[in-house]
Structure 1
Amino acid sequence: MSLIYEEVQNIKSMISKSEINETKRIDSNKLTEPVVGRQSDTRGFRGRTKRRIYMNAIEVACRAINIPEEDSPDYKITQRFLAICIKATQSPNIIQFYGLSIIDGATVMVLEWAELGSLRELYKENKIPLIPLKLKLSYALDICRGVAYLNALNIYHHDLKCSNVMVTERNVAKLTNFYFSRGKDHTSTSMAGRIEDGRWLAPEKLIDPKYRYDHKCEIFSFGMLLWELTFERKPYEDMELEDILDHVISGEREKIQFENSLALPDSSDAKIQKGFEEIIKEAWNQDPNIRISITKLLIQLDDLSKKYVKPGCSPGLEPQEIANFDIPSNSLNDKGDEIPDDVDFSNIDVDFEPLIPISEGVKAYKEKNHEKAWKCFNEQAENQNSLGKYWKAFYLWGGLFNQKDKLAALALYKEAADDGITDAQYRYAFALLDKDIKSKIQTTEAHNFK
């Protein structure tokens, strides 16, 4: 219980109290120029983003940033922006923020390098001519996971569109650009000078710029982003901005019209198209209360992915084959550390039962032998095996063998996530959205407050 309370408090303090001075500072000597340069090494407006190599191993993007003086009105905005970057970077579907550095006298953010650039660049510059629908589905699920993670932290991105989604060399989509992002209880960003963003904004926000941006606004913007990704163009591309405002406020939307030549009626592409259409319409409903929830949105995209994307192409929310986990290979090493040749075992009398390997536990789970599976995962978790923690949490959350214990499961998901288990990171974010968990966290907060 105290672990969950501390985690929630840490999240809140990161967003509300973090100081720029607490942001990690990176020595510029650790950021070297690439040995082999590429044309894409310089990006963005006026070339503000440059590729560098961090610690002689990691490709990073060094993006110029202006840090205001402490007495400046913009200082707190930049503070909050950096605090959000620090916390959000724990998700595998959000561009990682390493810290700040100074290069040639200019302050730069050191960020994860995304080789393929933004989603908008992908479709606009034909880096991938007519992005395959299955790949779009994979991108959409990645983006939704990033949004769900932010939602679990009570953070709203505020600027969802394809230009704010980066794509890595391995075709993983990741959210970026958190300058307009805010915590749930913080004042919304002014729309002054952001008229162009009206293409993705919810009607309630267009009607009243002072309307407090909420998760329903975020869902609407996701729907517009998904439309943009699906049809590979900006929403309302041929309309004047004033006409767009009238169009959206009156309840009108972009057309959802697929080319008949793209898919046969019974093909997987046609079914993905139908799934996208349903999700988009549910997301951009004129009535905010009727819009799809982030939980349902995530489930629908995940279901589509499971049906039509080959295993391994995009990680899912359900447990996968062991080979599909993105973890260090030694996590599955049943041999353990090598024993020196000169150890004498002749006088050692030990009677013990060896641990069941994780792979056998997973096999038992698939065969519905939950007693054996639980024994394996429970013992492996007690021995601090990251996958053991993940699977034990999975069993506790669903009550597959013993009684359900969501709080214990949440704590184990958090530990496994911190150990780098990708699926645990998704499930931890997803679990924080659970009504029972939220209620118990609130009860804990109230108790601790007393």
Structure 2
Amino acid sequence: MSDSGSAPEVGEGAAARTAARERPLHLGLRQNAAQFTLLVAVNALVGGMLGQERTVLPLLAEREFGLTAYTAVLTYILAFGLAKAVTNYLAGAWSDRYGRKPVLVAGWVVAVPVPLLLIWAPSWGWVVAANVLLGISQGLTWSTAVIMKIDLVGPARRGLATGFNEAAGYLAVAATALATGYLAGASGLRPEPFFLGIAYAALGLGLSTLAVRETRQHARLEAGTHTSRADGRHDHLHEELSQRQVFVQTSFREPALSSASQAGLVNNLNDGLAWGLFPVLYAGAGLGVGRIGVLAALYPAVWGLGQLVTGALSDRWGRKPFIVGGMLLQAAALALVAVGDAFAVWAVAAVLLGAGTAMVYPTLLAAIGDVAHPGWRASSVGIYRLWRDGGFAVGALLAGVLADLYGIRAAVWFVAALTAVSGAVVAIRMYETHQRGPGPRRRAGPAG
């Protein structure tokens, strides 16, 4: 074929690509089903990276590295929580500034060495370092995945979007915790359980780089048609807020945003307790690694499956009832763990704890999406997740100190009471964020 004959084909290909880029964007789950489904799969891989540790690391600390003080054992959760909390904040700000996809890909690059470090770690310090990297990776990937789903579906289906996102992640946590428990029981604590993490990192990086598309333009489309609530609650929350103003509104000033932030922190505080101390409590009662793996998987499995229901129902019934009820149910479940002494009792407690967390997790994220303006929503999600995942660090430190001083059961009782207080704060301070009625709306203007 001559050069003159090939030129039109190149031009036609470029024109087709340009036309594809210029096709009008649409908000909605059905309109963006392929990308939404892909992002669900990516977040399942993100959850799997976390799940590889849930059963194995607390036992590894005791049996291979000889750590006996609970505070020392929980240093890896403290490191993970601090790294993830700070990175959540940065991920939100960077997603607004540079786009979602670069942040997602960067998170997977950071994840690649984590399972290798866990396999080869010659001392506990290496495990802590691996968890710093894991926290950074989780902050970048999980934050961005949920932001991208919220971008795609628009305001009507936020609960459904966050429910699918969190369900995929925590079902993968559960499945991987169960699988690593059986692998550890059959082959030892290292290296076989961490081979799953190597596979997850490779798949996640490949899909995010080659198949995921940028969604920031969908947020801009929603911002162009954004309207305020009929009751005028959000009229002061206009698009042009500085990063400092977004932080203050999300953390302290805006009643719904700040209530969600404190509830998220307490939720992950008790998850840090469950992650770090429950396996040690179960082992002390004589349970084998396989049964500990079942309990470690049961809680996030119910949590993950439940979010498929609770997220969507919150689009119909509102966010606040699920958040208040979920925090109180978690408190009751933790109390049951504290009084239990057998596999059956702890299995019931794990189911209740998972159900309570499923009521809370997607609805808190959806509430942030309800209130935050699309122009700074990613930043607000990042700040909320800064507080929420800071709960891992607070939980690890608090639970470790209390367990060393008074025993594991006393630490569980204290966190149960704290969780109940958090639910009461939401009941008193938070208003319903999801506007279900079609009442009159007016376009938001700048704050006075």
Give the TM-score range, shorter chain.
Answer: under 0.3
Q: Higher relative CO (CA 8 A, sep ≥ 6), structure 1 or 2?
A: 2
Using the size of structure 1 for normalisation, the TM-score is 0.24
Larger radius of gyration: 1
Greater fraction helix = 2
Using the size of structure 2 for normalisation, the TM-score is 0.24
